[in-house]
Structure 1
């Protein structure tokens, strides 16, 4: 049983989500992406994007709290990949503060996303993960996702390019 409270995000949670996103991204991508690229987007723009996502439910955003503090979030909705069926969902983002890695926050968030996708009628779910993010690959492997080897792509990230792979599993 998780000691994390998971609930839908509210507009007032946007700043906490921005803070978690920044801290988790810095830790997860250290040595993969130059730090100056990770912080390139202005905080005000990120804050506005998360407020709009929460307000319009595009994507749906849930957060995890422990001891009254936001420690992680997940964003999910229908797949953004061209040509996918409407029954395919996607985890758009999942981030947890580094001090909560390996303690169940990510699993609690994944469970909430899976339930939300099931309610939306999704039968499968995908996620795109950078190949060099071994922690994220391991997390999704343990959550039952399978790597789709023919989906590798290169995505621009500032001045560099990142190799990603899509992973997929059934929602139930």
Structure 2
């Protein structure tokens, strides 16, 4: 959980600058993500969730988390896809999406879906180039503010 939380916080601190409050990104984000991932790993249904870590030269550079919801077994949520900023554009994201797709197919799912924050143009461009289809927008609360997130889907 430590490495995942550290990568998650580092990714958010850069990616969500200007989208989420600076106070949230600058104060306590690492601790917040640590608690989040410790809770998630402790409470995880290991048959319905997996986390895959991308490495370069033995060092973690990114991760992806996938979850299969019991009430929608044909769909798998790509809940997090983060690559540390220095490694973005190296193909790590594509490889992790492929790993997520293989995991979903092995569980009988037919579709992956995810959410990307409005304004996260790098992620939105990445998903659209990979053939993900925008199916709408939903509201969420992160860092004490309401945000809009695009839902994307892609068959596996």
Normalised to the residue count of structure 2, the TM-score between the two structures is 0.88
Match of 2:145 in 1: 160
TM superposition shift of 1:26: 0.8
Residues paired across the two proteins, number: 153
- Preserved contact between residue 48 and residue 68 of structure 2 (Cα < 8 Å): no
| Deviation string, structure 1 residues 37-79 (Cα, Å, up to 9, x no partner) | 2354535513413542678355210000001100000000225
Shift of 1:159: 2.3
Change (3 A) 1:22 1:158: closer
Alignment of 1:7-156 (within 5 A): 14-38=1-25, 39-40=27-28, 42-43=31-32, 44-52=34-42, 56=46, 58-79=48-69, 85-148=72-135, 151-156=136-141
Q: Secondary structure at the match of 2:63?
A: strand
Q: List runs of 5+ in structure 1 lacking aligned partners.
A: 1-13
* CA distance in structure 2 between the aligned counterparts of 1:69 and 1:50, rounded to whole angstroms: 22
Unaligned 5+ runs, structure 2:
none
* CA contact 1:89–1:122 (8 Å) conserved in 2: yes
> Structure 1 runs of 4+ off > 6 angstroms?
none
Match of 2:17, SS state, is coil
